[in-house]
Amino acid sequence: MMLQVQTQFLSYADCLVSLGTGKYHLARKDLVLVDHLGVVFPLPWCPPSVSGLVHTELGPVPLMDWGIDCHRFGLAPKFLLVLHTHKGMLAVAAHAIEDLDEATAKTVPHRDLCQVLAEHIVDFHTAVPMAHPNRSIPPRSEQFLRVRSGTKEVLVRASEVQRVGKHTGVQELQPGKTLHWVVQFEDELLSARSLGASYQAACIGTDEPWCLYPARHGCQAVLVQEVLGFVQASAQQVKTLQHDGQSSTWLLRQQEAPLELLPMERLASDAPYANTVAQNAAPSASDLPTLSADAPAWRAQAHGALNLGVGPWNLVLPAIAVRAVLGRAKDLRISTERSAHALPVFDLRCLLEMPGLPLLPTADSTFATQVCLGARQLLLFSEYVASTHDPGSSADTGWHSVPALPQALYALLRAVRLGSGGCELLVQTQNVCGLRNAFARSRMKAAFVGWYAAPAPASNPPNTSNA
């Protein structure tokens, strides 16, 4: 498609652009678009010559500024000029633009605007248009709720739980019986079953402050001691085993013990668990649980992706790259010494160059997320965690290929989107070779917090009874 230039400002082949107190020559062949200047979205990992991204009808374009402070001279920029360069489209903000006739060209000293830009984009990566940016997005994974009571730790499908939160009171349904309880949860009275008592895990209802409210009508709620967050896994990791005429379902995990996946119907009923086959279909948005404000987990959407927020930026990771949201960072034990299977921990605020701020683990609202970049797993601290649509879904629009940007930032991203929610940056999670450049390594070193060793999976003690 031929790019059209808005010509209401111009009538001659070339023009004279005023930036601050300087005037620059611009050939008409290099001008792609003239528009009014709008919102500027800041970017990390950029030199001072890059003010941020601006939204145009052609997509996000970097706005360049090489030290020209128009406001200092009382010259507020009015126009946005999008230019074609050998690296891709770039924009400048001008406070005046006029036709360049022969008389003006002889009397006004000026420099070529594109030559000035070329001096500031030497280390930029050339923009590569992506005709179908959503095709290479990995398929979504399934969400499981990870819970524990005493020594028993299990997974529950998120689609089978409507709400999760702390109850305000619990009472035995029958005196001396620790399996069934009456629970007050969000102004409701519920019949609930204790996970700990079900498996004799040395934990009963009075020690289980969390309540899983079932999605299926008529099913009992379940009391658990801890809600450990959501775990992301693909359907290939879920395996159903046959034994003694029955079946059980397990989630396979790298370098960790497998976790049993239990249907809510089994957790919340006395019916025998026989010939139950796991359903691997991903849940719809209406089926997923909402969580109370203090729950250390996140709400996933259908075609879900995870949004890690820090400062003005939203880093979006496809769900397949998210291993788990571990909860508040201040509750984790971070060590300065590396141990077996420990994960490196990085502070996103330091990683994205927000100096002068304390480390995130000191904040109550900080979350820790376990992610996988390439073949490496690590922990990221962010100011908040939110769910968003999968960039590969038809319901999610507005993503654009990465424009011409500095090499390190270009290698970090797969796509960008600008909107009312701010600047969203889709992170490159598969091919991460580009992140091994000197600048990226220096930022990783500055953002390194320590090592996190996941707690060893709980195991059931042997049954020594004579029964």
Do 89 and 153 lie in a common domain? no
- The residue among 152 and 142 whose pLDDT is bigger is 152
Do 246 and 317 lie in a common domain? no
Flag whether 9 is in a domain: no
Taking each continuous run of H as one helix and of E as one strand, the counts in the chain are 7, 36
Do 281 and 313 lie in a common domain? no
Instruction: Report how far residue 139's alpha carbon sits from residue 322's, in angstroms, rounded to the nearest whole number.
Output: 12
Flag whether 257 is in a domain: yes
Flag whether 464 is in a domain: no
What stretch of H or E contains 194? strand 188-194
Does the pLDDT of residue 360 top 50, yes or no? no
Question: For residue 269, what pLDDT is reported?
Answer: 59
Token digits for 245?
């005429």
Domain boundary among the residues 122, 155, 177 is at 122
State how many domains the chain has.
3
Instruction: Report how far residue 403's alpha carbon sits from residue 380's, in angstroms, rounded to the nearest whole number.
Output: 26
Flag whether 199 is in a domain: yes
> Tell me, what amino acid is at 319?
A
Flag whether 262 is in a domain: yes
What integer best gives the mean pLDDT of the chain?
75
Do 324 and 272 lie in a common domain? no
Model confidence over 76-125: pLDDT tens digits?
Answer: 677 889 999 989 999 998 887 877 777 777 777 778 888 888 888 988 88
Domain boundary among the residues 94, 122, 150 is at 122
E strands along 21-128, which residues? 22-26, 31-36, 40-41, 50-56, 59-64, 79-85, 88-94, 96-99, 111-112, 124-125
E strands along 299-395, which residues? 304-310, 313-318, 322-328, 334-335, 343-347, 367-373, 376-382, 384-389
Do 146 and 257 lie in a common domain? yes
Instruction: Report how far residue 346's alpha carbon sits from residue 447's, in angstroms, rounded to the nearest whole number.
Output: 5
Does the pLDDT of residue 295 top 50, yes or no? no
> Tell me, what amino acid is at 234?
S
Range of the domain at 199: 142-287
Do 312 and 445 lie in a common domain? yes
Instruction: Report how far residue 8's alpha carbon sits from residue 10's, in angstroms, rounded to the nearest whole number.
Output: 6
Do 90 and 199 lie in a common domain? no
Q: Look up the pTM and report it.
A: 0.60
Do 190 and 75 lie in a common domain? no
Q: Decide if 317 contacts 392 (C-beta within 8 A).
A: no
Do 430 and 368 lie in a common domain? yes
